[in-house]
Structure 1
Amino acid sequence: MVAVLVLVGVFVAVFVGYNVGGATTGPAFGPAVGADAISKTWAAALMTIFFFVGAWTIGRRVVDTLGTELVHDPGVFTLEASIGVLFFIGLALFIGNFFGVPASTSMTAVGAIAGLGLAGGELNWAVMGEIAVWWLVAPFIGFWISLIIGRYFYAYLNRMVAMERSEGPLLTVDRSRAVPVPAASETTSRRELSGVFTVIVIGCVMAFSSGTSNIANAIAPLVGSGALEMNPAIVIGCLAVGIGTFTIARRTLETMGNDLTELPLTAAIVVATVSATLVTFLSWIGIPASFVVIATMSIIGLGWGRATRPVTVLESVRREQAAKLSVGALAADEEGEKLPSIGQENPADVPSASDLFDPATTGRVVLMQNVVPAIATLGAYLTFRFVPVFGI
């Protein structure tokens, strides 16, 4: 009977890992995919590799935290209870992935474990409070930093790096040598190549950070119950995450990279840098990072800041001078067409609010990122409180 329960637990853990991969790939590589810097397949491959590195190195510490510190008595993680917790984590994340919205795996996992601890009277409120405070503070830090960058500094950064993607492939294969080697295509500039490399590297850093924090969401209950040893559990969890990155993650990549806001390479680098820095900081101090929420709020903040960027005095002068150049320019100005702004040379490149910030998609993302953890928390509490089979 115990062996059967262990197999059921592993199956449910794989289901959770699958949905973790679907939920976290979008925030890590959505900016790069949205900027056409990398394909969805390559994003999935890199996500899988660096997630495993993060899980194998630092992630085991977070597994111990969720398995021992969030509840006063780790004995509450019976094998049956662990299966129940993982079931509600996986179910809630699957709902978010089904709607194409990457929900926070950390919030969902901690919510399910908190529901178990609350039902059994073993929840450590001090640890829960510390985690909750950082969950509230960190996304707003990311939002405001990104908003300020988008509102006041983005145009200058864009002019400095100028990394809009060119038409055609980024790399070609040089077959003139004995061993074929990749080389930049004729349409690719050195600056563009370095920019693409930068945004991909930052995505890999975010994938590493996700592994340090989110592997615990899939395996902590089973490791805490003693059903699985740490190393085999990490391998199983990462394999499941890899499956999710190559399958269901394509929907969240589309949402984070294209639907939520337009992300040229400069914007992708800003979002990834802000998000990766905050997630790494939270992991360093031992907080299960709300990876998805931080990245999402960073994207929203940058898009909002760019869409509401004020017109400076210099910009007003440039527009006035441009309007005097020709009758056509004057007519365009009277018709409300936008003239070039600082850091942009083509009038067509000037974004409108609807181009950079989709309120409908944003509302859907924010709603689901609150609903999904609530489903896991409430479902776990009601089950462990009123279903006697779990024996807590």
Structure 2
Amino acid sequence: MVELLLGMGLLVALFVGYNIGGSTTGPAFGPAVGSGVLSKAGAAALMSIFFFIGAWTLGRRVATTLGKELLTRPGIFTMETSIVVLSFIGLALFVGNFFGVPASTSMTAVGAIAGLGVASNSLDWAIMGEIAVWWIVAPIIGFWISGMIGRYLYPTLNRWVAVQSTEGDLLTFDRSGILPRPSLGPNTTRREVVGAVVVVSIGCLMAFSSGTSNIANAIAPLVGVGVAMNPLILLGSAAVAVGAFTIARRTLDTLGNDITDLPLTAAIVVAVVASVIVTALSAIGIPASFVIVATMCIVGLGWGRATRTVTVSEGIRGEEKPNVSVGALTAEEPGEDVPEIGEEEPEDIPSAGDLFDPSTTGRVILMQNVVPILSTVGAYAAFRLLFTFFW
């Protein structure tokens, strides 16, 4: 019976890891695949490698927090409760996917475990409070850092990053020998090569960041039961790799559903800021949501670009007026095309409404918080019922 329950627990954990690989590969390597720098198989391979590195190094700290420290009663995690918790994580994430909103796996996992803790009166409220505080603070930090970059540094960064693509392949391969030998394409410029390296490096950073935080979502309940962590990390990372090589192809086709829709400069800013924040929190054992932090980075970057101020001259007198809102200076005529963030010239700055849609942003943020609430409330109700009638 114990072996059967362990097998069921591992299967559910592998299913969660499989979906993590499918949902995070596109946002991480979508730009590289879309620009032809990487193949889908190459993106999946890099995702598998760097996710595992993040999981093996910093990810175990988050898994320890969720599996052993968040609940005060060591024996509350049984194989049965672990299976139920992992099932609620998977079902809640399915709701987010159904509505087309990438939900936070970290918040959903913590919510399910917290539901178990409240129902069994074993939740460590001090640790839960620390996690909750960082969930509030981290997106705010991401918003303001990205906002300041958008307000003061973005035009300079855009000039550095802008890459003019040339005709032909970036790389060519000589397949005359046993192993193919890569070389630069006939029209490839050094700037293109640098841009390609930057895009791939950003994807690797995001994959590493995902590993540091997301591996715990698949294995923490089983860690709480007492299953050895190292084999679980290996199995969880293998499941992520399978997801990266299979269902992730769909997200790679559309370049993901969040930051990868942004131009290159904006994508780099958002990815770097969000990845550094999530990795730093993982280092201290705090499960963080890359999706929510990245969302607020996008909003902050758009706000920073939209609220830049310039000094205008009266022209006739040659006098300077005080700073004027850019939104008032850049109202477009009906039908005029509005450039995307990063696509415009540094001096052509669109208004705030053109850079991000507040109503859409509100809907996304709302759903990203509703899904973890569903996980928490559902787990609490289920375990309350089970503890009342069975345990």
Does TM, scored on the shorter chain, surpass 0.5? yes
Residue 241 of structure 2 is matched in structure 1 by 242
Does the 8 Å contact 2:31/2:260 carry over to 1?
no
Aligned CA distance change for structure 1 residues 314 and 162 (closer, same or farther; 3 Å): farther
Matched, 1:147 2:143: no
Taking the aligned partners of 2:4 and 2:265, their CA distance within structure 1 comes to: 51
Task: Tell me which residue corresponds to 2:185.
Answer: 185
Task: Give the 5 Å matches for 1:122-271.
Answer: 122-166=122-166, 168-174=168-174, 180-226=180-226, 228-250=227-249, 257=256, 262-271=261-270
1:1-392 equivalence runs, <5 A: 1-30=1-30, 32-33=32-33, 37-166=37-166, 168-174=168-174, 180-226=180-226, 228-250=227-249, 257=256, 262-306=261-305, 308=306, 310=308, 312-313=310-311, 356-357=355-356, 362-388=361-387
Farther-moved stretch of structure 1 (280-289 vs 117-126): 280-289
Q: Distance in 2 between matches of 1:194 and 1:390?
A: 63
> Secondary structure at 1:121's aligned position in 2?
coil
Deviates further, 109-118 or 148-157:
148-157
Instruction: Provide Cα deviations, 1:2-46, integer angstroms capped at 9, x if missing partner.
Output: 221111111111111122223333443345456665454433322
SS at match of 2:14: helix
Distance 1:58 1:71, change over 3 A: same
Distance 1:359 1:60, change over 3 A: same
Aligned residues of 1:59 and 1:212 also touching (Cα < 8 A): yes
- Check 1:186–1:298 CA distance in 2 against 1; reply closer, same or farther (3 A cut): farther
2:274, 2:293 within 8 Å by CA — same for their partners in 1?
yes
C-alpha displacement of 1:188: 3.1
What per-residue deviation string (whole Å, max 9, x for no partner) do you get for residues 337-363 of structure 1? Answer: 58999x97879x977878753556534
Distance 1:40 1:99 in 2: 26
Matched residues in 1 for 2:181 and 2:85: separation?
Answer: 49
Report how many residues are paired: 373
Q: 1:62 to 1:339 in 2, by over 3 A?
A: closer
Cα distance in 1 for residues equivalent to 2:261 and 2:349: 12
**How far apart, CA to CA, are the structure 1 residues paired with 2:300 and 2:35?**
17
Tell me the amino acid that sits aligned with residue 122 of structure 1.
S
- Using the TM superposition, give the Cα deviation of residue 197 of structure 1 relative to its aligned residue in structure 2, in angstroms: 0.8
Question: Given the superposition, is the C-alpha separation of residues 127 and 251 from structure 1 closer, same or farther in structure 2, using an over 3 Å criterion?
Answer: farther
Whole-Å separation in 2 of the counterparts to 1:242 and 1:316: 61
Q: Which residue of 1 aligns with 2:319?
A: none
User: What are structure 2's unaligned runs of at least 5 residues?
Assistant: 316-330
Local SS of the residue matching 1:387: helix
- 1:161 positional shift: 3.0
Q: Supply the distance in 1 between the matched residues of 2:50 and 2:111 (Cα, whole angstroms).
A: 26
Q: Is the 8 A contact 1:92 1:375 kept in 2?
A: yes
Name the CA distance, whole Å, in 1 between partners of 2:175 and 2:333. 53
For residues 119-178 of structure 1, what are the alpha-carbon distances to aligned partners after superposition, in whole Å with 9 as ceiling and x for unaligned? 000000000000011011111211221122223321121123322545543322245888
Q: Which amino acid aligns with 2:207?
A: A
Q: Percent identity?
A: 66
What SS class does the counterpart of residue 183 from structure 2 fall into? strand
Q: Deviations over 1:68-97 (max 9, x none)?
A: 110111210011101100110111122223
Query: For 2:281 and 2:18, how far apart are their aligned partners in 1?
Result: 24
Gaps of 5+ in 1: 318-332
- The structure-2 alpha-carbon separation of the partners of 1:178 and 1:238, relative to structure 1 and needing over 3 Å to count, comes to closer
Cα distance change, pair 387–176 in 1 and its aligned pair in 2 (3 A)? closer
Which whole-Å deviations, capped at 9, do the CAs of 1:206-259 have from their partners, x for residues lacking one? 211221221111111112112x32222112111211222234445555677567
Partner letter of residue 376 of structure 1?
A: S
Alpha carbons of structure 1 residues 188 and 142: separation in structure 2 relative to 1, 3 Å: farther
Letter paired with 2:14 = V
C-alpha change, 1:346 and 1:219, in structure 2 (3 Å) is closer
Which secondary structure state, in structure 2, belongs to the residue aligned with residue 173 of structure 1?
A: strand
Q: Is the 8 A contact 1:171 1:184 kept in 2?
A: yes
Distance across 1 between alignment mates of 2:209 and 2:260: 23
Instruction: Give the whole-Å Cα distance in 2 for the aligned partners of 1:334 and 1:138.
Output: 35
Structure 2 equivalent of residue 322 of structure 1: none
Is the 1:36–1:165 contact (alpha carbons within 8 Å) kept by the matching residues of 2?
A: no
- Distance in 1 separating the partners of 2:245 and 2:366: 26
* Distance in 2 of aligned mates of 1:239 and 1:389: 38
After TM superposition, the score normalised by the length of structure 1 is 0.82
Greater mean deviation of Cα atoms: 249-258 or 297-306: 249-258
Shift of 1:314: 7.4
CA distance in 1, matches of 2:115, 2:67: 14
Residues 112 and 377 in structure 1, CA contact (< 8 A), matched pair in contact too: yes
How far the C-alpha of 1:67 sits from its partner, in A, is 1.2
Letter in 1 for 2:368: Q
Distance 2:349 2:253 in 1: 23
Please state which structure has a larger fraction of its residues in helix. 1
